[in-house]
Amino acid sequence: RIGIATREGTAADNADAARAYTLADGTIGAAVIDGIGHGPHTSRTAPLLAEVAARIAARRGTLPGLLTASELIADRGADGDEANAVAVAAVANPAYDVVAVAWTGDCRAYGWDGTRLRLYSNDHTVGAQLRRNGVAVELAEEHDNWLKTSLATATVATIYQATIPDALVLLTSDGVHDQTDHDTLTATVRTHATDPQALADALVAAAEADADGYRDDATAIVITTQ
């Protein structure tokens, strides 16, 4: 079962997109795209990237799914202003008891085992790298918006992969996980774990504006395998 939700932030248009595709054998491919910046290129292209990533992932796997989507925006275009994005993709095959995920950038993949919410991905940002190297949290936070990788420049080496053994998997854009603390995310999942669509709706609704009144686009896909 799948739940998909997206909510526009306080900017002019929604640069996020999410799609899922189910093959004849029941295999599900899903992708969340978080466009970098806003504007007509990004808001128009993000749904195409999500559709391609989800469909190819279902057929060929998460890595080919993201690499194929990458090819759509790898060239800057005649006007030099082609869209760019970060992304996370997942494949749930009914023949296996794990969900495969892949990501580039700071979209995330979580798993819920009925008692705890675990983050299985790691953000590809300068801030995350600084924290892993022992830099003070306060300083590292100032660099969380500096991406180390993006979909347009993605390679085999810059797309990370993992498997999630949990029966419920969340894919989120940073408008969800950056503007909602982990305790709130956990409580939201616990409340709506039996209803994927209700959970996806609740996740994007939970994100709050920051001190300056800014609220990012928020997007979530929920996949349950039981």
**C-alpha 32: how far from its chain's center?**
4
Return mean pLDDT, the chain: 91
- The stretch 210-223 carries a mean pLDDT of 89
Going by pLDDT thresholds of 50, 70 and 90, the confidence category of residue 49 is very high
For 76-88, write each residue's pLDDT tens digit.
888 888 899 999 9
Report the percentage of the chain scoring pLDDT > 70: 94
**Cα 47 to Cα 103: distance, rounded to the nearest angstrom:** 17
Q: 28-67 b/e with 16+ CB inside 10 Å = b? A: bbbbbbbbbeeeebbbebbbbbbbbbbbbbbeebbbbbbb
Domain carrying residue 117: 2-224
What's this model's pTM, rounded to 2 decimal places? 0.92
Going by pLDDT thresholds of 50, 70 and 90, the confidence category of residue 140 is low
In total, how many domains does the chain have? 1
Going by pLDDT thresholds of 50, 70 and 90, the confidence category of residue 173 is very high
For 184-202, write each residue's pLDDT tens digit.
999 999 999 999 999 999 9
- Amino acid identity, residue 117? L
Comparison of pLDDT for 22 and 178, the residue scoring more: 22
Residue 124 pLDDT exceeds 90? no
Closest-CA residue to 104 (of 55, 152, 53, 149)? 149
Which CATH number do you get for residue 97? Answer: 3.60.40.10
For 82-119, write each residue's pLDDT tens digit.
899 999 999 999 999 999 999 999 999 999 999 999 99
Residue 223: beta bridge partners?
Answer: 2, 169
